Every structure is written in C-alpha cells, then in structure tokens.
Amino acid sequence: MKTIDKPEQIGRRGFLAATAAAPAAASLIVGISADAAWAQEAKNLTPHAMATLVKAARDIFPHDHLADKYYVAACAAYDALAADAGKKAMLMDGVARLDEDAAAKFKAANYLALNWEADRVAILQGIAHTPFFAKLRSDLVVTLYNQKELWPKFGYEGASADKGGYINRGFADIDWLPTT
C-alpha cells in the first residue's frame, strides 16, 4: 500500500547528524519569544503580543511534529489586521487578558512564562467564551491547516488531477482489511 509520511520521526542517528550540522549558536534558536525576528518585525502589534498569539495558537492546535514556523505563519496576518484600531484593541486586550489570568491563576509574569501547556490550556479554557478566543480559533483552523507545506506531515496529498488522479496511484490499494 502506498503511504506517505505521517508525522515524521527522526531517529537517533538522524537527530545527531542534524545537530552536528547546525551552527553552534544557541542564540539563533529563540523559540516562541518576543525576541524572535518574526515578533520584532511586527508593526502594529507589540512583539510580546505577536509571541503570545503564536504561543496561544500552538496551545489551541498543538501538533508536536510541527515546527514553530507554521504557527508563526498562521498568525502572520494579525499584525496587518491590527492596522485597524478596533481589531488592534481586540487583539491587544485579548493578550492582556491572557497575561492577567496567568498572573492571577499561577502568579506567573505572563502567559508566555507559563512552562506547562496544561496551565496555559486552563487559561484558554477560561476565555473560551470570548470573541477574542472564538476569532483566534476560527481563523487558525484555516490559517494553520490550509498551509500546503504542512499537508504531507498529516499524510494528506492535496491536488491530484495534475497527477492523473489516483486511478493508477493507489485509490484502492488497502491491503489490511479482513477478507469476507
């Protein structure tokens, strides 16, 4: 049966090779942080707000096999959206609410400072009824899963007509069903 990669798994050997090849500058790997280049580039939102939105995006749709860049891409449009004062207020207020709740519930500096996903999810559950959360979730379900680059990571092959469909490419190749 023709399959394509599900969540890619890097073996120990592959991991060692990859880390050996990478530059030894740990400072390049900043993760989801206001210091990251993509956060610093924000024009209408603060870098802190950008980073918080990206972190929340990962917490709403957590896929451990996806690099941060897909969540950054999913949130990229928010900065431009914040050119509108009303939209900006909604996003900035939403981020402020996440930070306030992190402080109140867990005595953390802010949402980003909470290291356990479960704690951050508890905060998201607390605001799940808000228009801010609804907007985030309903935008992200498109802006994340509609990125063609990540489709192969979910075993989805995308367009097929340009490849002649599946008539000769495994539309009926399932081989594990019980015979009747």
- Nearest distance from residue 91's CB to other proteins, in Å? 18
Query: By C-beta, is 106 or 151 nearer to other proteins?
Result: 151
Cβ atoms of 32 and 51 closer than 8 Å: yes
Cβ atoms of 88 and 44 closer than 8 Å: yes
Query: By C-beta, is 40 or 160 nearer to other proteins?
Result: 160
- The residue ranges that bind other proteins (CB under 8 A) are 1-4, 6-7, 60-63, 65, 121, 124, 137, 141-142, 144-146, 151, 154-162, 164-167, 169-174, 176-178, 180
Single-letter amino acid code for the residue at 15:
F
Q: Which of 98, 92, 122 is nearest to 110 (CA)?
A: 98
Residue 139's CB: how many other CB atoms inside 10 A? 16
Query: By C-beta, is 37 or 141 nearer to other proteins?
Result: 141
Query: By C-beta, is 2 or 12 nearer to other proteins?
Result: 2
Cβ atoms of 140 and 62 closer than 8 Å: no
- Nearest distance from residue 20's CB to other proteins, in Å? 29
